[in-house]
Chains A and B, each alone.
Chain A
Amino acid sequence: MAQYILKRFLSMLVTLWLIVTVTFFLMHSIPGSPFDRDGKEASAAVVQNMMSFYHLDKPLGVQYLLYLKSLLTFDLGPSISHYPTTVNTMIDRGFPVSFQLGAAAILLAIAAGIALGTVAALKQNGIIDYIAMVLAVIGIAVPSFVIAPLLIKYVAVKWGLLPVASWGTWKHVVLPAFALSVGPIATIARLTRANLIEVLTQDYMETARSKGLSPARMIIKHALRNAVLPVVTLLGALLANVLTGSFVIEKIFAIPGMGKYFVDGINNRDYAVIMGTTVFYSALLIFMMFIVDIVYGFIDPRIKLHRKGA
């Protein structure tokens, strides 16, 4: 197990390095620089000073090496458009907010998705099943940036149930978390339904029934655990979905999270912010995938054996 973790850790580092490299060069290939906007031209001398302050006057290769060097000390550098705020500070401020939003969305997606999928599977080909699956298709097809304004219009503005935007109390979390989780709910529901229908026909379900167990225990103890295994696999991908989705949702609901800094960073060609947030999110995602793999081993005991051989 320890050996497996070490191996995974090393490959995680390599992955991260590849992401840093690709992002760095892609970013610099976007036309424009951080200092040419708003029509208010700074004097050439000022620009020159700024360029040398951020090492932007050096050759790209040197800039890249300098960035890697500061990255090794976990220093993501100062923001160009919000100097003297550093990217590390931005993450300190923005991430807790994004994390709350993302965690709420993921938890909601897991709970609602599995519940919906289970009900649909148990009432297979019944009216509830059809309604749930039509809703799921809509959920997958309609992007969150369409759902979000609709939620704001009806729930917040027309009915006045929840705040329109911004951040603060739990009431502010509900709408954005829901908008963010609609897609994942639908995906999880469909997957759970399909798996559960298959699991219910397995021999061990008949064994469970032959022991006189109640339907509730059969479903919860015997069926669901096997049915949600593929859902756990999917969680890694869903996490990426929720993280990237949150950029848009944070923008729509004016939530002061990481997503807002990231989108602003791209608009401003704020190289340090783009790099910093990308590296941070990549590291987070890679780490979450790793956690998912470990969790998978706990839910499905058969997995552990394969690792020893690997």
Chain B
Amino acid sequence: MNNDALLEVDNLHVSFSTYGGEVKAVRGVSLRLHRGETLAIVGESGCGKSVTARSIMRLLPKNNSRITEGSIRFNGRELTRLSEKQMRDVRGSDIAIIFQDAMTALNPTMMIGEQLMEGVIRHQRLSRTEARKRAVEMLQFVGIRDPELRLKQHLHQFSGGMRQRIMIAMAAICSPAVLIADEPTTALDVTIQAQILDLFRMLQRTTQASLIMITHDLGVVASIADRVNVMYAGQVVESAPVKELFRNPQHPYTRGLLDSIPRLDRPRGAKLDAIPGTPPDLFAPPKGCAFAARCPHAMEVCGLFPPDSVKLDGEHTVACWLQDARARTMPPQGPAQVETASASQG
């Protein structure tokens, strides 16, 4: 299975330098994306999912961020070692990204057509006439009527859902092998969300593109993903096929997430389960499991050593001491040390 992976990220570490010190936003993320597959990356705000996505395209600002470790291979090509110029040929052509808020992610003073066309002109050396034809096709494809007329319009003349459709058309216009969608439905209301998800499905059926869907919405995950990576504090804590994940979540954080979805079949007035506490400080990440301080099942060992990824059956992996037989045989440590470890997380 591993050898036909289109995109492979291994042990990726990304740091930001700030006035307060170095923030380790991504700490050893690995992921695999196969052809035509949809991988969802879920997690709460600040867990590093967007940073992971931007690292893949090397879009992070050069002046304050750095990939400190790890590799990103696309089609066997190591992206972390490409020059900025070589990377420009990859961006938009092989890997394209769809941002959350099309209102701010599209240029307000440029005609929509111009913004759609410049990518194909750049990457596929099309003439303006050909590029315009392609842009019209793409607008039609994403369901925008009167594409010829719409090309000459500006951002403010479109509704929120249409803007996101344009954003998608723009990302897909060069037929990239990998599409990264960074919370593409978060800024939209629910009915439009459903339409946009349908559009993603249709896009995948026709182009066979692989999709990385970044979201914090488990509903989106359930409706579109083939596989899910759950991220917490800059690490992937659990990875599984979507059905397996919802049916058989193994990491306490994943379970916490699933339990905190409001459900209509609960009795009225029942309290919504939430995960207590807050994510750890990434200026000084805890030395053990990052979730230990909030975990209802935390053991001594959790505060002391980071858990390894454990392979369960099939493609289900989880990074949790509860799944690791060695947890029982770990050398006993003084309880004082455990306390200092968890205290430093608060």
Residues of A participating in the B interface, judged by any CB pair closer than 8 Å: 202-204, 206-214, 217, 221-222, 225-226, 229, 299-302, 305
Contacts and interface: CB of A to CB of B under 8 A. Distances in A.
Interface string B72-113: 000000000000000011111100110101001111111000
B271 interface: no
Contact of B107 (A204, A210, A214, A305): A204
Contact of B110 (A206, A209, A221, A305): A221
Contacts of B123: 212
Contact of B122 (A213, A229, A299): A213
Given A299-B109, A301-B156, A210 B118 contact: no
Given A213-B118, A299-B109, A203 B101 contact: yes
22 contacts: A204-B108, A206-B59, A207-B105, A207-B106, A207-B107, A210-B92, A210-B99, A211-B92, A211-B119, A212-B89, A212-B91, A212-B92, A212-B122, A212-B123, A213-B88, A214-B88, A225-B109, A225-B110, A226-B107, A301-B108, A302-B154, A305-B156
Contact of A212 (B90, B110, B156): B90
B57 interface: yes
B168 to A, nearest CB: 12
B107 A208 contact: yes
What are the nearest 6 A-B pairs in CB distance?
Answer: A212-B91, A211-B92, A212-B92, A203-B104, A301-B154, A204-B107
B122 A202 contact: no
Contact of A209 (B91, B101, B170): B91
A229 B123 CA distance: 30
Interface string B287-326: 0000000000000000000000000000000000000000
Contact of A301 (B90, B106, B109, B122): B109
Contacts, number: 75
A211 B122 contact: yes
A214 B93 CA distance: 13
A210 B109 contact: no
Contact of B59 (A202, A209, A229, A302): A209
B119 A212 contact: yes
B240 to A, nearest CB: 29
A301 B155 CA distance: 9
DSSP class of A's interface residues: helix, strand, loop or mixed? helix
Given A207-B99, A301-B109, A212 B104 contact: no
Interface residues of B, number: 27
A302 B118 contact: no
Contacts of A203: 99, 101, 104-105
A299 B154 CA distance: 12
A221 B115 CA distance: 10
Nearest to B119: A211
A204 B91 contact: no
Contact of B91 (A202, A210, A302): A210
A302 B57 contact: no
A213 B96 CA distance: 12
Contacts of A210: 57, 59, 91-92, 96-97, 99
B59 A212 contact: no
Interface in B108-136: 108-110, 114, 118-119, 122-123
A124 to B, nearest CB: 10
A229 B108 CA distance: 12
B110 A222 contact: yes
Contacts of A207: 99, 105-107, 170
Contacts of B107: 204, 207-208, 222, 226
A242 to B, nearest CB: 27
A260 B302 CA distance: 87
Nearest to A208: B107
A226 B104 CA distance: 13
B106 A204 contact: yes
A307 to B, nearest CB: 14
B53 to A, nearest CB: 10
A253 B105 CA distance: 51
Nearest to B106: A204
Contact of A217 (B57, B101, B105, B118): B118
Nearest to A305: B156
Contact of B105 (A206, A213, A302): A206
A305 B153 CA distance: 12
Contacts of B93: 212
A204 B170 contact: no
Given A203-B105, A212-B88, A305-B156, 12 more contacts: A203-B99, A203-B101, A206-B59, A206-B105, A207-B105, A211-B122, A212-B89, A212-B91, A221-B114, A226-B108, A226-B109, A302-B108
Contacts of A299: 109
Nearest to A223: B107
A76 B9 CA distance: 79
A301 B90 CA distance: 32
Nearest to A209: B59
A207 B96 CA distance: 10
A225 B154 CA distance: 14
Contacts of A204: 104-108
A209 B122 CA distance: 12
Contacts of B88: 212-214
Contacts of B105: 203-204, 206-207
